Structure 1
């Protein structure tokens, strides 16, 4: 058994030796032939799109101040009403009766004061009696003002000029301060609220202009940022911003979804490479750089992407040559020959076999 094992080992060693000799005779592995792209700078206009919501500048529910039965309801659903317009009237018959009673008492008290004043001049009554009669007038007037205030509280009026919503009650219904009669929203000065990712917060300030489209309207609207939330949302890592809509707002509906587009100042020195040059990895992204005919595997960080190119924010320099085809056949430190060189981000390239290893340009 031992002799058989030694014999097999000797045979295996002989085969490996023959394979090594065959590889030496065959020579080194031929250089891979690839298309490449020379890294250049170009002006890059960055634009992001974030979700938003249209918000009325003023919006509230309409509640009565006191409990009572509705005797008049003036809710024209969807109509625009002015500030102070009467929306509903509650029953106030008992209050009106109290007011009439106090008005009679006030007239009687005034007559008494006039008579006492004449008597006081001729010494018919004391000054104290006149003062008591005048105090009665003051008390009656105060009571009358209280009743007038209670009567006004039975009137439900529009707090501002706006568009009424749907009514939720009818004439004759008994309502309380918790009852919602309808809603009202201001029709001018519309706002759009949107959430901005934290990496862009330093690039959008008060006064920045944004464009947006609404799901309820196909037109493009403009708005100017007027305020921001005090802090970033912990769950979403976004900052809520509010922009004031400018121009005609007739087609906008509060609560509608909005697609907000924010255009940033273009970067004149952005490094761009074709998207096919990127090799995704489990922990990042890499590209194959051809340096003096030798392949190097380089880590890169990417930024904005469009249909054909991607921005590289770190890892490459202007003039680097990156492989864009034949990537699957490349290995680090292998040799490569550039077959075609892409010269411009716009897609222009020189064609033809260079028949030599590529140099770092």
Structure 2
């Protein structure tokens, strides 16, 4: 009897162990299915995805520019003469036509006085010879010689008057005058820079734009800028551009104009321009950078089509460390994969957890 019982134990124990192992395996499989959730397929790679839609594109680039006066001129003398008076206050405001420098004119006035006397006599002679010509007392040649001498003296007087006018150096326009480089008593030569004059009623803003933004530079369009004086945003209008690009940096020089109430802006002040780099009414898709896959021709992304991962090339307008602007390659409603990118392949089955 004991012998039979021992045989039964030998047969029963392996069967019981096998049944226990199968039960444990079944429980583990059941737990896996429960943890995977309804609809999960173990043969598909689980990925995170986002549904993308186009948004209004509002891209800006900060460009550093420089302020310049609306008008600027270096005041110089046209004749060699001594300064007898400086008629303005350094750093002040002057009006158009205001006297700035008075040069010595004593010798010119003396010459003009003598020339006026000669002219008076020449006019009398011309009248006298003219009367004699009517009575044929003198011939035509004698009258012509007298008339030509009169014309020559009149021309000399006009030239002398021009030189006399040059002894008064006046402001060509209203503006802010600088610091004089010459004082009374200085003997100056033609072309010597005496002082600078700038018109700050309106201020120019000069900056350069990269060649890729040429279609966006349009005369009459607005730009926003700030200065080192204040973070308050100001507005200027593009008025002109250079006809060609700078051959060294492939950039276009642009000039804008801004109002300068109270003369708070000065020439040479640096400005930060917020230049709009996206076209008007342009749209694009915002995408996290982790979805991008670098390729030889640019970037690709994986989208989900009928449960499969599909690689699509995209064009990037601009990007930061966390986000990129996709200008082409994606459509509204596309589900873009943003996780497990390195494990994906074109046509691989995927199970998406979609978030907007």
TM-score w.r.t. length of structure 1: 0.73
CA contact (8 A) 1:46 1:266 kept: no
Q: Which residue of 1 aligns with 2:109?
A: 96
Q: Which residue of 2 aligns with 1:253?
A: 266
Q: How many equivalent pairs are there? A: 313
The structure 2 residue matched to 1:266, chosen from 265, 272, 281, is 281
Q: Which residue of 1 aligns with 2:199?
A: 186
**Cα deviation per residue 1:43-92 (whole Å; 9 max; x = unaligned)?**
22233333322222211211111122222223422222122222222223
CA RMSD of aligned residues (A): 3.4
CA contact (8 A) 1:75 1:167 kept: no
Q: Which residue of 2 aligns with 1:154?
A: 167
Partner secondary structure for residue 113 of structure 2: helix
After superposition, the Cα gap between the structure-2 partners of 1:202 and 1:178, relative to the gap in structure 1 and judged at 3 Å, is same
Write the distance in 2 (CA, Å) between the matches of 1:318 and 1:143: 84
* Residues 1:51 and 2:64 aligned together: yes
Partner secondary structure for residue 145 of structure 1: helix
After superposition, the Cα gap between the structure-2 partners of 1:279 and 1:119, relative to the gap in structure 1 and judged at 3 Å, is closer
Q: Displacement, 1:31?
A: 4.5
Partner secondary structure for residue 181 of structure 2: coil
After superposition, the Cα gap between the structure-2 partners of 1:102 and 1:320, relative to the gap in structure 1 and judged at 3 Å, is same
* Residues 1:205 and 2:202 aligned together: no
After superposition, the Cα gap between the structure-2 partners of 1:229 and 1:130, relative to the gap in structure 1 and judged at 3 Å, is closer
Partner secondary structure for residue 222 of structure 1: strand
After superposition, the Cα gap between the structure-2 partners of 1:247 and 1:146, relative to the gap in structure 1 and judged at 3 Å, is closer
Q: Displacement, 1:238?
A: 2.1
Q: Which residue of 1 aligns with 2:300?
A: 286
Bigger helix fraction: 2
After superposition, the Cα gap between the structure-2 partners of 1:120 and 1:235, relative to the gap in structure 1 and judged at 3 Å, is closer
Q: Which residue of 1 aligns with 2:249?
A: 236
Asked which structure has the greater CA Rg, the reply is: 2
Q: Which residue of 2 aligns with 1:169?
A: 182
Q: Displacement, 1:231?
A: 1.6
Q: Judge which range, 59-68 or 70-79, deviates more.
A: 70-79
Q: Displacement, 1:251?
A: 1.7
Partner secondary structure for residue 102 of structure 1: helix
Q: Displacement, 1:183?
A: 0.9
After superposition, the Cα gap between the structure-2 partners of 1:244 and 1:127, relative to the gap in structure 1 and judged at 3 Å, is same
**Cα deviation per residue 1:195-214 (whole Å; 9 max; x = unaligned)?**
22223222332221222223
The structure 1 residue matched to 2:89, chosen from 76, 93, 103, is 76
Q: Displacement, 1:300?
A: 2.3
Write the distance in 1 (CA, Å) between the matches of 2:130 and 2:253: 73
Q: Which residue of 1 aligns with 2:336?
A: 322
Write the distance in 1 (CA, Å) between the matches of 2:286 and 2:136: 108
Write the distance in 1 (CA, Å) between the matches of 2:149 and 2:294: 92
CA contact (8 A) 1:69 1:90 kept: yes
Give 5+ residue unaligned stretches, structure 1: 1-27, 344-361
The structure 1 residue matched to 2:228, chosen from 207, 215, 221, is 215
CA contact (8 A) 2:200 2:260 kept: no
Write the distance in 2 (CA, Å) between the matches of 1:214 and 1:83: 30
